[in-house]
């Protein structure tokens, strides 16, 4: 089955303008055109676009994605290099997730802190709390703040 830019954009969950941009940047050499010059996508193209979107979201630049697409076009000769790329992206995303978890932990602590200060009518009341008086799930963030981590 063939899909228009708009249909494929909806299927992959990205703006149609992004698909056009990817095509202009040479990431979609596989895309066929109708007699009128319209881009026409297939079900197989959806898989490639989903991978491109994943790589973009994982932090790769357009240039790096273009290099990946060139590797993919090489076929089996580039399996090791593509595996290495995906392992590196996986590790980078895991690190980003860990960093975001620490950020969320601090945000949760500060929400608790200001909600508690509002109820007490003063930040000083919260500052004076002993570690045991702070909810266990907020203690690590409080320690990070007080130790300057």
Say what the pLDDT of residue 148 is.
Answer: 55
DSSP-assigned letter for residue 22: H
Closest CA to 39 of 54, 17, 64, 56: 17
3-state helix/strand/coil string of 78-122:
HHHHHHHHHHHHHHHHHHHHHHHHHHHHHHHHHHHHHHHHHHHCC
Q: What is the pLDDT of residues 77-105, one digit of tens each?
A: 999 999 999 999 999 999 999 999 999 99
For residue 37, the model assigns a pLDDT of: 86
What are the residues whose beta carbons fall under 8 Å from the beta carbon of 30, sequence distance 6 or more?
A: 44, 45, 48
Sketch out the chain's domains with CATH numbers.
Answer: 1-57 (1.10.1660.10), 79-149 (no CATH)
For the chain (149 residues), the mean pLDDT of every run of 10, in chain order, is 92 94 90 88 92 96 95 96 98 97 96 96 94 94 81
Percent of the chain with pLDDT over 70: 99
């Amino acid at each position: 089955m063939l899909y228009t830019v708009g249909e494929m954009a909806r299927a992959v969950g990205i703006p149609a303008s992004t698909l056009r941009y990817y095509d202009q940047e040479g990431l979609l050499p596989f895309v066929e055109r109708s007699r009128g010059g319209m881009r026409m996508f297939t079900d197989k193209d959806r898989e490639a676009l989903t991978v491109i979107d994943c790589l973009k979201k994982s932090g790769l630049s357009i240039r790096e994605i273009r290099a990946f697409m060139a590797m993919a076009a090489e076929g089996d000769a580039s399996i090791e290099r593509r595996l290495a790329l995906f392992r590196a992206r996986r590790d980078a995303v895991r690190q980003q997730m860990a960093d975001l978890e620490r950020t969320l932990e601090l945000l949760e602590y500060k929400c608790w802190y200001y909600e508690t200060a509002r109820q007490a009518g003063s930040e000083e009341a919260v500052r004076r709390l002993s570690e045991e008086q702070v909810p266990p799930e907020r203690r690590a963030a409080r320690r990070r703040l007080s130790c300057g981590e």
